[in-house]
């Protein structure tokens, strides 16, 4: 079953204030999926309490691999559609650099 998106705006798309949780003090897990999407989960809370924060759409076939850059806010993905995409955060939507 595909996880349902959250009812509130995704964490990565909200303007951040000093009182907000930012991606810099969260633990984000990225997963590829057979449904061609990438799912981002915040797993930085109590064990077993991770939650879906965002779904990235852009591949047309199963996503085999995702990897965060070690120091920059970049995510790379590779899929069976023979594409490698680099995802960057954006105030509007996270978009792949194609």
Model confidence pLDDT, tens digit, residues 38-82: 999 998 877 778 889 999 999 999 999 999 999 888 999 999 999
pLDDT of residue 56: 93
Q: What percent of the chain has pLDDT over 70?
A: 66
CB-based contact 40:56 (threshold 8 Å) = yes
Question: Which of 3-7, 11-15, 29-33, 41-45 has the largest mean confidence?
Answer: 29-33
Residue closest to 85 by CA, chosen among 51, 49, 60: 60
And the tokens for 14?
Answer: 């909200």
Q: Dihedral (C-alpha) 42, 33, 58, 50: value to the nearest 10 degrees?
A: -10
CB-based contact 49:38 (threshold 8 Å) = no
Whole-angstrom distance, CA of residue 85 vs CA of residue 98: 6
Q: Name the CA radius of gyration of the chain, rounded.
A: 13
């Amino acid at each position: 079953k595909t996880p349902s998106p959250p009812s509130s705006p995704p964490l990565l798309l909200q303007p951040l204030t000093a009182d907000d949780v930012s991606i810099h003090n969260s633990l984000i897990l990225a997963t590829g999926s057979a449904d061609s999407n990438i799912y981002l989960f915040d797993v930085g809370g109590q064990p077993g309490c991770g939650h879906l924060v965002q779904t990235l759409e852009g591949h047309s076939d199963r996503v085999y691999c995702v990897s965060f850059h070690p120091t920059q806010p970049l995510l790379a993905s590779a899929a069976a559609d023979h594409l490698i995409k680099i995802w960057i955060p954006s105030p509007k939507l996270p978009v792949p650099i194609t």
